[in-house]
Each structure stands twice: as C-alpha cells, then as structure tokens.
Structure 1
C-alpha cells in the first residue's frame, strides 16, 4: 500500500483525487491546497483529510501527486524529493528548462520514483496500437480546444502541444534534426495557436497544429509509414489502420473476427489487397492507469512509465518551438 498525498485540488486535482481513491494500492492520506474555499469544499465532498501546509502532508505520506499550477511544480517536487518522497507531477514538469534540468539531476541522485503525467500515453486509442509495429515517416497532428480563461498565462505549446511532442519522441526513435514554427497570441498574452514542423534525422517529418481558440474540439494524430496509414482519435477513443497486404495474401473480403474489411486496389505494381482494421479499444481510464502504474513502480521497485528525462526532452523541444515562434513574431512599433 502506498500512502499518497495530493498537492492541489483544482479542476484536474479533483479528477486525480477521484481516481486515486479507486486504486486499491493507494491510501490517500489527504491533500493540501492554499485556496481555503476550494479546500473546504473538497474535504467535505470526498471526506478526505485537509492538511494545513505542505510539510505536514509530506510527513504523513510516502508519495505525492502534484497537480498545481506549473510555476509551483519545481519547488514542490524539490521539497518532496528532499524529504525522501516519491513524486508524480503533472505535465509540463517545470516552468523552464533550467528547473527541469535541475530536477532531472535531483531525481537521478535521489533514487526515488518520479513520474510525469503525460496522460496521452495511456489514452485507450493509443494503447490499442501497442502490439502494432509503428515506424512512421510522416505524422500529422491536430489538437484543438475551445477557449477557456484558465491557464492562459501558459502558451498553447506547453498547455496542449506538449502532449503530442511527448508521443512523437516516444514513437520516433531518432534525434531531432530541424524545427520550424509559427504562432499567434489572439485572445491572451501568450501564444494561442501554433504550428510546428519537426524533422528527424531518420527522415521522419511531423507537422503539429495546436489551438485553444477553436470552435470545435479535436485531438487527432495521423501516422503514415511504409504500406500503412494509422489514424488515432484521442478525443473519441477510436483507432483505424489501413494497410496494404502482401501480394500473395488471401484474406477474405470481410473478416468479422478481426474487425477488418479488405478490398482490391490497382497500383503501378499490380492489384493489391487493402485492409481496413479497427483494433479493439481497451476500456481504461487514462489518469487512473498512469497513477496505478506509479503506485506499482513504488511497490515493485521498477521503472516509472514516463520518467524525468523523457519529460525533460519533451519540454526541451517545446521551448525550441517557443523560441522559433518568438523569433518569427514581428515587433509592433
């Protein structure tokens, strides 16, 4: 059993609290939140102990789940690690690269479990592909959200696009060669809509668009690789695979057991069979799964699902994109 405390019980923090209470291996000892009104409401609603400060919470637990505004991630994580506590922290792991680098060093020296909440790794639509060989050479991503006044002090790169940056680095086993980007601040003081092109050393190219001023929501990733197209709908939890079958394949036109439809297509190399496959989507809650894996890592002394170095790499790419946008933004006189 892991005695775990929660730092921050805002909108996302309450979701984390709900999921932690459903994990058998987790014993929620309580939470701390500086907002008196919110803290009292959450304490009454969930019947969970409210601690008066961070230090008293740390003394009562083995691990903490940090779901606070990004600027507080580093000081809280540092305090927890120096107190000998395991840490789960929401993305992005820190406000800037110097903090993130310091945290990576601190974690490596502490020999504690430190996991970052890149939750899309555990999206059912993405998990449906875990047994499929993914070797994409072109990737198209659209992550669009409607405008919310909350978190507008953080750019759309760190708020939304970083999810897809993490997935890219997880999928493409190659160094980044070149980055180009542009973005605009429309309704807030930070970038609200952005596009980035990431070129990898192995030739793979990724085109990412993120917006928080869209009229509709969309979270889609399209992967193109040799003889295959893979579509991932993170929002609606749907996945499809369209691929060319080997020339000698004798798959019937419709295979209900494999949820696969196939048809013939004329190509320059002759007639080929095309298969459309809809893999089964696992019924999992992504936040509960990542927190469950965090607890498992502590109890079983095994590596975490998303470690500090991986999160640092994603943050580093995010800041390179931000730098490109800043250099491309004209100065208003």
Structure 2
C-alpha cells in the first residue's frame, strides 16, 4: 500500500524532508505547500510532485502530513489537520508554548491521531549506540553541549526552543523524568541566546545542558560520567569512546600497576533524517517503536523548556 504524504513548509528543512521522503519506497508525496511560489515551482519540477499555496488543498485525502513550517505556526497547521489526517509529523519544537503543546495532545487523543515530534538526534547513530552502552551503566551525570551561530532562517524562537530542546529531549530519553530545574542565561537582540540548565532527575542522576547561539564553533557533544566509566560522544563527527575506570593491582614484591581501558565504539554511518522518516512511515503503517519521540516527548520537552526560560527571564 502506498502512503500518501503532504509536506507543509519547504524552507531549508522542508527541502530535506522532501528529498528523503521522495527516496522512500511505498511513499507518495502528493503535495508540497508554501507561500513561496517560486520555490514551489522549482521543487515541483525537480521532484515531480504537485504543489499548492492552499494548505487545505494540500492535506486533502492524504494519509500523513509533515509540518515543517515556522514554530509560531505549528499549532495552527496541526489544528487544520486535526480530524482530517490520521498521522502527523511535526518538526521540533512541538509548538511555540506549552499551552499549545497540551492542546495539540488533547486534539490528537480526541481524534485518535499518531503524532511524531521531530527530535532528529534520537536517530543519530551515536545516540543509538550511547543508549545501548548506558543500559549496562549506572549514570551519575550527563553533560550536553550544543553551540552554533544564529541561523538566518531562525527568527521566531530563542536558543532554548531552537537548540537546547534537542538535548532536553535526549536528557529525558537517556536519564528519565525530571524533578527540578535550575537555569541561567543571557539575551541578545531580545531573545535568549545563551542558556545553561541543571536538571535533577527522579532516578537521582543529573543532566547539565548548555546551548549557545553566541559561539562561532559548531558543537554537538555528550559526556557521560557513570560509576564505572566516562563516555565521550561527538554527534557531529559521529564518534563514541568509552573510558573505563582505572584499576590498581600489585603483585607481591612489585610496584603498583595502574591499568585503564579506552574503547572506540563502532558507529554505523547512516543519515538520521532518513532513519527518522523510515520510523515515521513504519508507525503510520501500525509499527510504532517505543523509541519514537511521540506527542508525549514533545510536551515533556516543552515543560522543561518553559521552566528553563522562566528562570532565565526572572533573573
């Protein structure tokens, strides 16, 4: 059976979603929607797909919708889909505010819809391997760092909803629910451009999350301290190294011998966006993995994001 999919929004990310969806077997992109007519015509010719500047027309008769519009419009476009489309993929963040996110969840439950939130880092092969490694470790602390200069395409959200929310989702994914948050930050041009947060999880572990749009260097890294190891994960270079705790031994009449183990974990090359959409299409066809970032993931990450922003703005 061919799954009919419409894409709302064909900016930089929308183009990537169109490229990947056009590659997948069993998927037909039935329409692309935007207000940029010139861009629509170009992509329509390139990928041989219909286009429209009418969102209602775009979602008519489809099995799934991919929403890749500006964050401030996510709620309105989802509302348009509610009750008309069974499956919806929404790029992160789920919505502009927690209140809107909760309303989206209520509408999804009312109409029995499947929602996947676009937390692409869940599908980064480094994160997949890290998750597997941590199944055998007792986590004490995880440090998340994500820095990048402000992109010209991001004009409606601060660094917390643009960058940090990826790592807030990963902190919840790897360390579980949060019971308290402490945060600090700095504004630039009216938006929070630097944020640092300490998340205390219900299981007793900690997550320290840092995000900055005031830094020239692009960085995506995770460092984990466990009872038995220190784990270094580089999400851009796709590297994962486990440093096991040193051990000290002594044979009779000999000096102490200190030994340690550094293990480079093999990370299979794969495009995260491709794997993300393969998971979405599988879910649309009834095969929903427990690892998927669903509507609850979107709402939970917004809850923590709002706590972070409240503390920064109240200083």
Rounded Cα–Cα distance in structure 2 between residues aligned with 1:299 and 1:278: 37
One of 118, 142, 145 as aligned partner of 1:142: 145
Q: SS at 2:73's partner residue? A: helix
Match of 2:49 in 1: 48
Q: SS at 1:300's partner residue? A: coil
Q: Is the 8 A contact 2:131 2:174 kept in 1?
A: no
The Cα of 1:300 is off from its aligned counterpart by 2.8
Q: SS at 1:60's partner residue? A: coil
Q: Is the 8 A contact 1:66 1:90 kept in 2?
A: yes
Match of 1:290 in 2: 276
When structure 1 is superposed on structure 2, of 270-279 and 111-120 the one drifting more is 270-279
The Cα of 1:235 is off from its aligned counterpart by 1.2
The Cα of 1:79 is off from its aligned counterpart by 1.5
Asked if residue 155 in structure 1 is aligned to residue 158 in structure 2, the reply is: yes
Q: Is the 8 A contact 1:181 1:324 kept in 2?
A: yes
The Cα of 1:194 is off from its aligned counterpart by 1.1
Rounded Cα–Cα distance in structure 2 between residues aligned with 1:271 and 1:81: 65
Match of 1:179 in 2: 181
Rounded Cα–Cα distance in structure 2 between residues aligned with 1:198 and 1:300: 34
- The equivalences for 1:1-333 within 5 A come to 1-132=2-133, 133=135, 134-173=137-176, 175-186=177-188, 188-244=189-245, 265-266=247-248, 273-302=259-288, 305-328=292-315
Q: SS at 2:94's partner residue? A: coil
Q: Is the 8 A contact 2:62 2:85 kept in 1?
A: no
TM-score, normalized by length of structure 2?
Answer: 0.91
Taking structure 1 as reference, are residues 10 and 267 closer, same or farther at Cα in structure 2, changes over 3 Å only? farther
Q: SS at 2:221's partner residue? A: strand
Rounded Cα–Cα distance in structure 2 between residues aligned with 1:16 and 1:52: 18
Q: SS at 2:130's partner residue? A: coil
1:195-239 deviations in Å (ceiling 9; x for gaps): 111112332122111111212110001011111111111111111
1:275-330 deviations in Å (ceiling 9; x for gaps): 211111122111111111111011135357111012100111001000000011xx
1:176-206 deviations in Å (ceiling 9; x for gaps): 23211111122x2201111111112332122
Q: SS at 2:191's partner residue? A: coil
Match of 2:253 in 1: none
Rounded Cα–Cα distance in structure 1 between residues aligned with 2:179 and 2:56: 44
- Cα RMSD (Å): 1.9
Rounded Cα–Cα distance in structure 2 between residues aligned with 1:212 and 1:159: 9
Unpaired segments of 5 or more residues in structure 2?
251-255
Rounded Cα–Cα distance in structure 1 between residues aligned with 2:155 and 2:182: 23
Q: SS at 1:137's partner residue? A: strand
Taking structure 1 as reference, are residues 126 and 302 closer, same or farther at Cα in structure 2, changes over 3 Å only? closer
The Cα of 1:38 is off from its aligned counterpart by 2.0
Rounded Cα–Cα distance in structure 1 between residues aligned with 2:165 and 2:179: 18
Q: SS at 1:84's partner residue? A: coil
Q: Is the 8 A contact 1:113 1:303 kept in 2?
A: no
